[in-house]
Structure formats: C-alpha cells, structure tokens
Amino acid sequence: MILQERPYIDFHTHKAVHAGEDDVMEIVSMHQHIKNEADWLTLGYHPWWLHEVLTKEALNELSTALSIHPRCLALGECGLDGLKGATREIQEQNFEAQLAIARALSLPVIIHCVRQFDRLLQIRRQWRDTKWVIHGYRRNVILTRQLLDEGIGVSVSPFPDMNSSFTEMLHFLPMESFTSKQTVTTE
Ligand SMILES: [Zn+2]
C-alpha cells in the first residue's frame, strides 16, 4: 500500500489541524491523549521528558501502541540531548530500548540529537539494520557525510538565521534524497 503521494514530509509540525501545502505530508508532534485522526504520527519517548530508565511496562505500552495504531509511521522522537533531560547513561539506555522495539517491528526511527553526535555514531554500530532519520538537522558537511555514510537520513527545513554552513550542507545532500516517494511505502 502506498501511504501517500505527496513528495515532502514535514517531520515535526505541532499544528493540531491539518493546514498543509498539497505536496507536504505532515507528521504531528503532540502530547499524549490529544487525538487528531486526520494526521499521520509517530510515537516514542522523547529524552526531554524522561528522568528515569523506562520500565518494561512503559516499553510494552509503546510497542503495543506502535503495532496497533493505523496511522503511525515510525518510532520517535527518541534520542540523546546533551543539554536537557536525564543523565547520559539513562538517556542511552532509554534510546537503545526503543531502538530494540523499532528493530522488532521494522519501523523507522525519528531521532532527536543535540550535541551528542559522536555518541550517536558509536551507538549506530550496533543498529545499522534499523532506519534512522535525524529531525531538525542543521549541522555541517563533515558531520553530514559521516551520517550519510552510516545510512542515517536527515530532515531539514528553513529557519530564520540560516548560516552559510547550513546552506553548504543543503547543497551537499544528494538531490534524490529530497523526496519521500521511495521510502514511505509499506506492504
Ligand atoms: Zn527533537
């Protein structure tokens, strides 16, 4: 089944009501229990809001929700944040526990990563068979090359004070990686 024909995905809108451009598919980031059946969504435990190691029950709940929600496309956001959230050890444990769920369910993972890219690349070694996309990506060409070499995707969007390093990185990204048509399909 092809889920959508629109070529671009907004990975991180907070709009509660669909108001997108015709060629943009929106994935809504929202708090639990707010329902909007019209939108595609992703589900995951964000590192900002976790202060403890996730319990088995919490992981089972996520796994079940991901399995049964008809409009859920991926696991996420999850990941590592060097400025906010729990200790590095707790964040990494929670991140890898969610990667295991994504692997078991063959779901892509939308990754939140702030100032932890070295560690992210190390962790990647054990998870190369899972599909990762880093959302809100703004880093330079050198790091981007490393990520693409590891098979990691990035999602990019314009922002008010775009610098030359960001635009240089945009030019570096392969043209064919700018549409979602090949990837957003499922059996
Ligand atoms: Zn994020």
Per-residue DSSP letters for 130-151? S-EEETT----HHHHHHHHHTT
Residue range 62-113, pLDDT digits in tens = 999 899 888 888 999 999 999 999 999 999 999 999 999 999 999 999 999 9
CA 29–ligand 1 middle distance (angstroms): 10
* Mean of the per-residue pLDDT values of the chain: 83
Question: Computed from CA positions of residues 109, 159, 80, 44, in that sequence, does the dihedral angle turn out positive or negative?
Answer: negative
pLDDT value of position 23: 67
CA 49–ligand 1 middle distance (angstroms): 11
Structural domains present in the chain = 8-178 (3.20.20.140)
Q: What pTM was estimated for this model as a whole?
A: 0.82
Residue range 130-157, pLDDT digits in tens = 999 999 899 999 999 999 999 999 998 8
Cβ atoms within 10 Å, residue 18:
11
CA 20–ligand 1 middle distance (angstroms): 20
pLDDT value of position 20: 53
